[in-house]
Amino acid sequence: MKIELPKPYITWLVAIYVACGLAYMVWRIGAINHAAPWLSIPLYAAEIYGYVSGLLFVMMTYRLSVREPVPPQEGLKVDVFVPTYNESVDLLRRTLLAAKWMDYPHETWLLDDGRRESMRQLAAELGCRYLSRQDNLHAKAGNLNNALRITDGDFIAIFDADHAPRKDFLLKTLGFFSDEKVAFVQTPQDFFNIDSFGHRLGKKRVWDEQALFFKVIQRGKDVLNAAFFCGSCAVVRRAALDEIGGFATETVTEDVHTAIKLHKRGYRSVYYGESLAFGLAPHSIDTYLKQRMRWGMGSMQVFRRENILFGRGLTLGQRLNYFASALFFFEGWQKLIFFLTPPAVFLFGVLPIVAPLDTFLLLFCLYYLLSILVHLELGRGYNALLLSEQYAMARFFAFMSTSMGLFRRDIPFAVTDKQLSDTGKVWLWLSPLLMLAGIGAISVPVGLYRMHTGSIPVSAGIVTMIWTLVTLLTAVSVAVFAHRHAANRRGEYRFPLHVPVTLAVDGKTYLGLTSDLSPNGALYVGEFVPGLAPGNAVDMLIHLPNLIVRDSALATFVGHRGRDPHAASIGLRFQWDARGNTGALESFLYGSRLQLEMGNLTETETPPLTRLAELLRREGGRPRFAQSWGAGLLLQPLRSGTLPVAIATLEGAAPLLFSSIELDLNSGATLRQPAAGSLSEQTVSLIPTGRLRTPTGDFHLYNFTSHSTAA
C-alpha cells in the first residue's frame, strides 16, 4: 500500500489551522457571557464540537491509501450474495445480470427475505440460486447468516439489491486476500441516478453528498487499518466471519458492527478506492433522512455496545476513526445551536459573547477561513462548502433523533425505500427546518427594533442579522430543492447517454442518437421521420459496443428539434418482443461510469489553494465537451456496410468520434452526417484518443480531421 500525502503548503495550512483553532478556543473562554449562560455556554460547546471534529477530519484525510489491485489466485471458491426484501423484479434483474456476468468463476445467490414467487422465478430465469427462510429474524444480517449456513464459498461478495457490479469486480478485489489476515475488501458505493436528492448536477460537475466519505475519508481510514465494511460492494472472508459468529446481529448497522468485531480480532481491512459497482441513491429527502437515521441509530448502538474508546482489541487509530464517525451524528445538536442563537439574540436582547467586536471578528474570521480552506484542500475537491451546509441543515433534526440510539435497545431495521415519494411526505420531513426558518423570520423585525432603540449594539446586530439571513437563505434553498425532487414523478432513471440508434419506417432508415436512455425507453434526436405520429410503431437498432439491440418501439411523442425542420425529437417506448435483448441493454446501462465519462463530467472541483498553485505553475486544464452532439455513418474500404457513430464537438479541439468497434487506421475513412435533409460526406483522418469501458465492451474514441467535403 502506498500513501498519498498533501502538498507541503497544505501541511503548513493544517499546522496553522490547528494552532489558530486552539488559540481561538482558549480565547473564547474569557469571552463567555456568564450573565446569559443558557445562550453562551451552548454556543461555546458547539464551537468546541466543530474544532474537535475538524481535528478528527484532519486525522482521517491527511494521509490517503493508494491501492493497486493484484491478480487473484486461481481456484478460489466465491459466492455472491444479493439480499432482498421488497425491491422490484426489474431492480433485482439488473443487479443479478451484472453479478452473474462478473469475470472469475462464482455462484450468484438471490437471498429473498420477502418469500416471493416472482423472485424464485427470476432466479431460475437468470440461472442464479434462490434461497429464502421462514422468518425475518435479524433482518439483513440474519438473511446473510442464513445463507452462510447453506453455502460453502471461501469468499462472500455482497451487493445490495440495487447495486450492479462491474465485470471486473472480483478480479480487482480477490487478489488482496493473498494476505491471510485480510478479513474484507471494501470498495466505494457509487450511484447511477445522479438526479437523486444527494446529488447536485452542474454543467460540468456532478457533486455527490457521499463522495467525500467513499473517495477520501475511507482511504484515510484505510491507512490506519480502520476502513469500514459498508454492507455492499464488498468481499468478506468466510473464515473471519466464522470466527466472530457471522455477521453482527445486535444492531441495525450490521456492516460497521461486523467490521469492529473483525478489527478487534486483529484482522486487517482493505479499502480499494475505485468505483466497481453502481447503485440507486435515495431519490428524495424522506428516503435520504430515513437512511441517515438508521445509520445514526446503529452507530449509537455500536458505540454503546462495543465501548469504542476504551474496549480491548482496537488500536488507537481505529478507536479515533470509529469515534469520529459516531461523533458525526451529533452534528444535529451543533447545527440547532447555530440556527437558534441569532434569533435568541434578537428576541431576548442578550449577546452570547462579551468582547470587543473587532477583536472577535478578527479571531473568528481567521479561524473560520482556515477551517474552510483545510476542509476544502484535504477533501481533495470532493467537498463543497455551501452544499455541505445545505445538507447539514436538511438532516439536523434527523441526526438529533439518532442520539436516542444511545438509550434504545430495540431499533427496527428499515430497508431504504426505492419508490417515489409524495409531496406530503416531503413537507413533513421539512417541517423542523421550516419551523427554524419561521423563528428566524419572526426575529428579524424584533432585531431591527432593538438596534433602533439601542438595546443591542448596531455593530453586533448587523453581524447577527447577516447570520440570520444566511440561515434563512439556506433553509429556503433546501426546501425548494426538496420540493422539486418530490414533483419529479418519472418512475425510472434515464441515463443521459448519446448512443447511435437507427429507426426503420416503411423501408427507409433514419439516423440519430439517444439523448437519454433506459431499459424501457429513450429520447431519439436525429433525422426527421416523415409521417410518424404518436402511437406509431418503428423498428429500431441501438448500436452498443460489440452488440446491436434490435426491437420495435412505440412513438410516445414526435416533434422538431429546435428550429431545424429536418431534425426530430422522438420519444420511444420499447416493446421488447421476441427479437429484443433487454438483458444486454440493462447490462450496458447499469454497472459503469459511462454517463459521466461520455459527458466529461467531473466529481471534483479544484480547491482554491490548489487552483492558485496550478495558476502559478501555469498548468492547463483538460478539454471540455461542448454542448453539441450529432450522429454519423462511417465507411471504410475493408469493412462492409456503414457504422453508426456518435460525434461530440469539443471546445478548442478536433471533434471526437465514438465508435462501438475498433476501427482500422491503415485504411481511409468516409464520414456521412445528416445536414439539411440529406447526407454530407467527407474524407477524414482518425487519431485514437482512448476508450470508455462499458459492460458490453469499449467505446473507441477518435479525434478526426476532414480532408474534403462532397454533397
CB 381 within 8 A of CB 607: yes
Q: What are phi and psi of 252, to 5 degrees?
A: -85, -5
CA distance 492 to 420: 10
CA distance 72 to 29: 57
Residue 562 reports pLDDT greater than 80:
no
130-155 confidence digits (pLDDT tens):
999 999 999 999 999 999 999 999 99
Higher pLDDT, 598 or 390: 390
Q: What was the pLDDT predicted at 711?
A: 44
What is the chain's percent helix, strand, coil content, to nearest 5? 45, 25, 30
| Confidence category of residue 54, pLDDT binned at 50, 70, 90 | very high
169-219 confidence digits (pLDDT tens):
999 999 999 999 999 999 999 999 998 999 998 878 899 999 999 999 999
Q: What was the pLDDT predicted at 427?
A: 83
Instruction: Determine the average pLDDT of the residues in 520-546.
Output: 91
Torsion of CA 106, 110, 113, 118, to 10 degrees: -170
C-alpha distances (whole Å) from 482 to each of 278, 391, 421, 477, 690 are 23, 11, 11, 9, 39
Residue 414 reports pLDDT greater than 60:
no
According to DSSP, the β-strands at 155-158 and 234-237 are: antiparallel
According to DSSP, the β-strands at 277-279 and 190-191 are: parallel
CA distance 363 to 399: 30
According to DSSP, the β-strands at 625-635 and 669-675 are: antiparallel
328-375 confidence digits (pLDDT tens):
999 999 999 999 999 999 999 999 999 998 899 999 999 999 999 999
| Confidence category of residue 417, pLDDT binned at 50, 70, 90 | low
C-alpha distances (whole Å) from 435 to each of 421, 422, 427, 428, 442 are 22, 21, 11, 11, 11
Class of the CATH-defined domain 500-595: mainly beta
> What does pTM read for this prediction?
0.92
Q: What was the pLDDT predicted at 332?
A: 94
Residue 264 reports pLDDT greater than 90:
yes
For domain 64-281, give the CATH number: 3.90.550.10
Name the CATH code of domain 624-710 (choices 2.40.10, 1.20.1420, 3.30.1360, 2.60.40).
Answer: 2.40.10
Q: What was the pLDDT predicted at 567?
A: 84
Q: What was the pLDDT predicted at 123?
A: 96
Q: Which of 261-275, 312-326, 356-370, 416-430 has the lowest mean pLDDT?
A: 416-430
Instruction: Determine the average pLDDT of the residues in 235-249.
Output: 96
Q: What was the pLDDT predicted at 470?
A: 94
Q: Which of 309-323, 417-431, 582-596, 686-700 has the lowest mean pLDDT?
A: 417-431
According to DSSP, the β-strands at 190-191 and 206-208 are: unpaired
| Confidence category of residue 68, pLDDT binned at 50, 70, 90 | very high
Q: Which of 91-95, 604-608, 643-647, 661-665 has the lowest mean pLDDT?
A: 661-665
Residue 309 reports pLDDT greater than 60:
yes
Tell me which residue has cell 476508450: 691
462-485 confidence digits (pLDDT tens):
999 999 999 999 999 999 998 887
Q: What was the pLDDT predicted at 575?
A: 86
CA distance 711 to 587: 40
Range list of H helices, 33-78? 37-61
Average pLDDT, the chain: 90
Residue 267 reports pLDDT greater than 80:
yes
Angle subtended by helix axes 458-487 and 285-306, to nearest 10: 110
Give the total residue count for the chain. 711
Q: Which residues are catalytic?
A: 113, 255
Tell me how crowded residue 73 is: count the other CB atoms within 10 A of its CB.
Answer: 10
617-672 confidence digits (pLDDT tens):
766 555 455 568 889 998 887 666 789 999 988 776 778 899 998 988 877 788 88
Domain with CATH 3.90.550.10 in the chain: 64-281
Q: What are phi and psi of 350, to 5 degrees?
A: -125, 150
CB 590 within 8 A of CB 599: no
High-pLDDT (> 70) share of the chain, %: 92
